[in-house]
């Protein structure tokens, strides 16, 4: 068994606030957005560790719930929903000049 390299986590309360300020990047509802962290190990998700803050998507409460606990989507559909919302979130933040300088988009 080979050891995984140490994951470099990015943490930023301001970044999470910036993400939450966007409309939901799945259903586009405004005013209910949360910074939804990735549930994938390649983004730093561990048993009790949230993924790195650079891997957060702007999702409303309903879409966030469906992603994390819902049963309407299979794993592949959840991955697709998250990755598309993440891509849109990054693009919106870059357009608004709010993407963190410490991270290459």
Tell me whether residue 33 is in a domain.
yes
Q: How many domains does the chain have?
A: 1
Per-residue model confidence (pLDDT) at position 34: 97
Among residues 85, 80, 70, 67, the alpha carbon closest in space to that of 23 is found at 85
11 and 45 Cβ atoms separated by less than 8 Å: no
Handedness of CA 22, 28, 34, 36 (dihedral sign): negative
Domain interval for residue 63 = 13-95
Tell me whether residue 103 is in a domain.
no
Tell me whether residue 29 is in a domain.
yes
Per-residue model confidence (pLDDT) at position 1: 52
Q: Report phi then psi at 37, rounded to 5.
A: -75, 150
The residues of the chain scoring below 50 in pLDDT are none
Per-residue model confidence (pLDDT) at position 2: 54
Q: pTM for the whole thing?
A: 0.90
């Amino acid at each position: 068994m080979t050891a995984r390299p140490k994951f470099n986590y990015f943490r930023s309360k301001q970044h999470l606030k910036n993400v939450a300020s966007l409309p939901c990047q799945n259903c586009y509802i405004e005013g209910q957005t949360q910074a939804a962290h990735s549930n994938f190990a390649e983004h730093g998700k561990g048993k009790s560790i949230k993924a790195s803050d650079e891997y957060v998507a702007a999702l409303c409460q309903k879409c966030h719930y469906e992603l994390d606990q819902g049963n309407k989507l299979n794993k592949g559909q959840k991955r697709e929903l998250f990755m598309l919302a993440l891509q849109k979130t990054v693009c919106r933040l870059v357009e608004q000049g709010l993407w963190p300088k410490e991270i290459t988009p």
